[in-house]
Amino acid sequence: MTDIDTLIANTIREDVRAGHIYNVPDASGYIKLDAMENPYELPEHLRQELAARLAEAVLNRYPVASYATLKQKIRASLGVPNGYDVILGNGSDEIISIIATATARQNLDGKTRRAVLMAPSPAFVMFQRSAQFAGMDYVGVPLKADFSLDRAAMLAAIEQHKPAVVFLAYPNNPTGNLYDEADMIAIIEALGDSGIAVVDEAYQPFARTSFMDRLPQYPNLMVMRTLSKLGLAGIRLGYLAAAPALLEQFDKVRAPYNVNVLTQVAAEFALDHIDVLNEQAAQLNQARGELAAALAELPGVTVFPSSANFITFRVADADRTCAKLFAERVLIKNLSKMHELLANCIRVTVSTPEENSVFLNALKASL
């Protein structure tokens, strides 16, 4: 019998063995404010209609591999310019992995140099993880202390590392802010035909601004979004918009049938009722302003601007505060160990008035 530890050492990559599982804590019995989810369900009459559609889904057959109907609805409902297309993923996580896999060139210039994936830092952790697993080098360029882009540092890093891909989250996670448009355009233009700029618009329903209409201006631009933050986190659907010729290359990496039938049916139904989801996003935007104002009034709390459905704020001792909130059955995200710029920072999802009130009361007691 082979010793399992020896087997693992002989077969699993060293960097994987040294890494950690992406941990998602059990939220049972807690007020869940750590994952940027929409707290509102569909209205009852729409849930009943959706249930009927799902009951008719053909589960004994593979999905239609082209996803033509769903892609058409996305193009029509979500602002994709005429002449541009989308590919779909099992959440935006899979889209990021597809991008990294397709661009992970090895032995560049006949040397051992590997392709580089770059992003401002701190950023969504899946940028770095996907680069690692695809065999790319990851370069994180620190943001300024106010979480804005350091344009000079980004342009210098592009010149030095010549990245294949640069991810720009707009708004950024975990900081919540929108980067300056002129800074982003400077980065896109600096990449030219040597690198791809991916603008991650996961929180676009709340930011209400986008680079989607700039696709015709910049051939190297791609816009990535997800339906998760819009209120459909459970169905796991992401999409990537770009010029069809560019998308074709990434579609070669996408696994066949990567979006399941139930997701397809639910997404098509939701897009038929996009006005309901947009109204929920508007409610959360209003609640975000109210919650930010209430947080700013608390002693020792620094609130950072947010255009997403969460707020990042700083306290004197994030570990102590998070522990007390956890004891009160409130889940939030301690950002302190993610990056030095996030020292004593906490991220909280904007939720219903009732859950926001519970969170505020627990936070006041913890300070």
Task: Spell out the SS3 assignment of 87-132.
Answer: EEECHHHHHHHHHHHHHCCCCHHHCCCCCEEEEEECCCHHHHHHHH
Helix, strand, coil share of the chain (percent; to 5): 45, 15, 40
Residues 152, 157, 160: CA angle, nearest 5 degrees: 125
Q: What is the pLDDT along the chain (367 residues), one digit of tens a residue?
A: 569 999 899 999 999 999 988 888 788 899 999 999 999 999 999 999 999 999 999 999 999 889 999 999 999 999 999 999 999 999 999 999 999 999 999 887 777 789 999 999 999 999 999 999 999 999 999 999 999 999 999 999 999 999 999 999 999 999 999 999 999 999 999 999 999 999 999 999 999 999 999 999 999 999 999 999 999 999 999 999 999 999 999 999 999 999 999 999 999 999 999 999 999 999 999 999 999 999 999 999 999 999 999 999 999 999 999 999 999 999 999 999 999 999 999 999 999 999 999 999 999 999 8
State the pLDDT at residue 109. Answer: 76
326 with 31: CB under 8 angstroms? Answer: no
State the pLDDT at residue 1. Answer: 55
CA distances from 188 to 115, 126, 137, 193, 243 (A): 18, 21, 20, 10, 15
State the pLDDT at residue 110. Answer: 74
State the pLDDT at residue 179. Answer: 98
In order of start, what are the domains of the chain with their CATH numbers?
4-43+275-366 (3.90.1150.10), 60-273 (3.40.640.10)
* DSSP for 220-275, written as a single string: TEEEEEESIIIIIGGG--EEEEE-HHHHHHHHTTSPTT-S-HHHHHHHHHHHHTHH
First-last CA distance in the chain: 55
Report cis status (omega within 30 of 0) of the bond before 171: yes
Alpha carbons within 13 angstroms on the beta-carbon side of residue 358 total 18
44 with 263: CB under 8 angstroms? Answer: no
CA distances from 307 to 142, 255, 281 (A): 20, 33, 12
Phi/psi-derived region of residue 67, left when phi > 0, alpha when psi is between -120 and 50, beta in every other case:
left
State the pLDDT at residue 26. Answer: 80
